[in-house]
Structure 1
Amino acid sequence: MNENTIGIDAGGSLIKIAFEEKSRIHFKKYSIEDLESAFNWLKMFAASKRIVLTGGKAGSIKADFFQEAEIVNEFKAACEGAMYLMEQEKISLQEKVLLVNIGTGTSWFVMEGSHYERVLGSGIGGGTFMGLGTLLGDSRDFSELVELASIGTRGKVDLLVKDIYHPEEPPIPGDLTASNFAKASKSKESSAADQVAAVINMISETITLLSVQAATLHSTKKVIYIGSTLSGNKVLQSYLEKYAKMSGLESVFLQNGEYSGALGAKRI
């Protein structure tokens, strides 16, 4: 990579930066609400460097902070960055894979060799988790909501297959969801943690179902996951891995996958 280029992925809630120093890639992440700290550091570090921006806030950041910066398409940046990370993790780029980028919403790409194509998008993603988590968990902190989900019992909120078939043995795994949040209309015994656990499960089920359809349509069984919503979110990762395995898919979570957009911007 070019050491004189800094990639910045400016999304709806986070600013992610990829830069190189002494031939090593480094990453920084800031809340969109902490722009002043991010760019005070960046202006000192990047006084003579090329800035490449991507993401939904790229235009406003260029206008307000880096008028000479270049802007690249966020889908292109995410795929280019993911390919770099796949190379670092010795994942073959010649095998057709489904790339799933879980950010504020979620995008699906089919990748094979140097070719990639966006094939699907959904409004279900990290924004959904934060929005419903704030309403149900009474917190706007991502880490706090993930912690809540980790201790919650979604079966107190979701109607499960085993609930419908009880006391008989169900024909499919009993802990699968028959209806998301269906118990909430009949019982008030669930806690905020149970409700947030149900939210994160609903997101993972939806993403998996769409991934299965896209993977089937494009004849692949391998799913590569990236995106900031997965960062520090073992609950979501475990659900995605579980449902992918049940659906016959192989799932891979790229290390530093949340920085794919920033890396791609730096790489282009």
Structure 2
Amino acid sequence: MGPSDGDKVEGSSSGAGEDLRECEIEGKMEGSVDQISHLALDIGGSLVKLVYFKGNNNCSDDDKKGERIGFSNGSGTYPILDGRLHFAKFETSKINECIDFIYSRQLHRGGCWHHEAPVSENTIIKATGGGAYKFADLFKEKLGVGLDKEDEMDCLVAGANFLLKAVHHEAFTYMDGQKEFVQIDHNDLYPYLLVNIGSGVSMIKVDGDGKFERVSGTSVGGGTFWGLGRLLTKCKSFDELLELSHRGNNRVIDMLVGEIYGGMEYAKIGLSSTTIASSFGKAISENKELEDYRPEDVARSLLRLISNNIGQISYLTALRFGLKRIFFGGFFIRGHAYTMDTISVAVHFWSKGEAKAMFLRHEGFLGALGAFMSYEKHGLDDLMLRLERFPISETYSGGKIHSPLPGDFNDHESIECRVYAT
């Protein structure tokens, strides 16, 4: 049995069908960093995530559009070097496209202001995820750089802590089509449960900076949705499958409590008639083959099943450790309204309203951000230590914008995303 299938939220996926999404946070760095471009990678089983810093000096006017992070010397915010953090993603199966992107922008040589810098045999890029081991030789062969491998869990936690402390309006709740930003009190952030939904799911109890423990997880995650979705619907990409689910109706395939009890609810144990009794349950009682079901309905039911399961396990894990805050990250979510609503409803249902699911706008880049922060030279330690929560500048109005949330998200203060063709 699962939470009620209200099927109310009709939001859209963010950036569906795009291989590359690039977001920017504009900021300032100390030291002689205008001669380098910090680049870090998180190479997962499904996606490669990139984070890189580019100074505005000598960059094009178009590259200067973005938003601002301030760094303080204790007596106020001051500029040293204007620049931005950029975020991009590629499918891991298309790792060569990622490498071509890095080469085309000379990120391994210093980015737009340092194209001619030589790559020495000691040049390294910080990287995390299983692909940091799997593709190390490929990066050496194609770019002449080594991958300096960082622990995956360390990076996830460092990235999450960074965002929750640094980025204004980073965390939000989402239920019944309503989003609400959460104000984070730095003095009351810990402990919390970080649920990172990638190909699989890791659940990490975070007690402070560098203090964490992986306490649970499940193999039923984004890879499950994508893998089963490909087999059942013939979709060629995760985003295609996600967009397909938006047009579906899971009630065609899922068996509800009311259908077992003749339209009645099971009030004695708190189950409404619209509660899902069995995901894909109708398929066993109908004389139909896979071809008789619409692919969009199959995708919807599959997304509902996996999101409900993750939400329930996450809450039970939080309950086990007495945690009230649950933050969800990872590229499975994609800012997709139906996914977020399903997870939120599951947490609300099983906690009887005592716990809330919270989401992160830079959900998929936690590991890459953590790897980026692990650099220990060129003033980067000072950069992170001097970070303040920053006011958002006016939104960028040019180019093609995809926000992490559906609807009127651009009416709010936000960090914009731009889509580039590769």
TM-score category by the smaller chain? over 0.9
Matched, 1:68 2:142: no
| Partner AA of 2:130 in structure 1 | G
Aligned to 1:259: 365
Write the deviation string for residues 214-263 of structure 1: whole angstroms up to 9, x where unpaired. 11111012210100111143221121122222233211110111011100
**What secondary structure, in the 3-state scheme, does the structure 2 residue paired with 1:110 have?**
strand
Answer yes or no: is the 8 Å Cα contact 2:311–2:347 preserved in 1: yes
Q: What is the TM-score with the length of structure 1 in the denominator? A: 0.92
**Where in structure 1 are there 5+ consecutive unaligned residues?**
none
| Partner AA of 1:91 in structure 2 | I
Cα shift at 1:102: 0.4
Cα shift at 1:106: 0.5
**What secondary structure, in the 3-state scheme, does the structure 1 residue paired with 2:146 have?**
coil
Cα shift at 1:50: 4.6
> Comparing both structures, which one devotes a greater share of its residues to helix?
1
Answer yes or no: is the 8 Å Cα contact 1:53–1:70 preserved in 2: yes
Aligned to 2:207: 112
Aligned to 1:238: 341
- Distance in structure 2 (CA, Å) of the matches to 1:232 and 1:213: 24
Matched, 1:83 2:116: no
Aligned to 2:198: 103
* Higher Cα Rg, which structure: 2
Answer yes or no: is the 8 Å Cα contact 2:245–2:299 preserved in 1: yes
**Cα distance 1:168–1:174, how it changes in 2: closer, same or farther (>3 A)?**
closer
Matched, 1:35 2:95: yes
Alignment equivalent of 1:208, drawn from 288, 305, 311: 311
**Cα distance 1:174–1:168, how it changes in 2: closer, same or farther (>3 A)?**
closer
Q: What is the TM-score with the length of structure 2 in the denominator? A: 0.60
**What secondary structure, in the 3-state scheme, does the structure 1 residue paired with 2:260 have?**
helix
| Partner AA of 2:252 in structure 1 | K
**Where in structure 2 are there 5+ consecutive unaligned residues?**
1-28, 56-82, 111-122, 171-182, 375-422
Answer yes or no: is the 8 Å Cα contact 1:6–1:50 preserved in 2: no
**Cα distance 1:68–1:167, how it changes in 2: closer, same or farther (>3 A)?**
closer
| Partner AA of 1:30 in structure 2 | F
Aligned residues: 268
Answer yes or no: is the 8 Å Cα contact 1:161–1:173 preserved in 2: yes
- Distance in structure 2 (CA, Å) of the matches to 1:33 and 1:216: 37
Correspondence list, 1:85-164, <5 A: 85-87=163-165, 88=167, 89=170, 91-93=184-186, 94-114=189-209, 115-164=211-260
Answer yes or no: is the 8 Å Cα contact 2:263–2:273 preserved in 1: no
| Partner AA of 2:299 in structure 1 | V
Aligned to 1:217: 320
Answer yes or no: is the 8 Å Cα contact 2:42–2:127 preserved in 1: yes
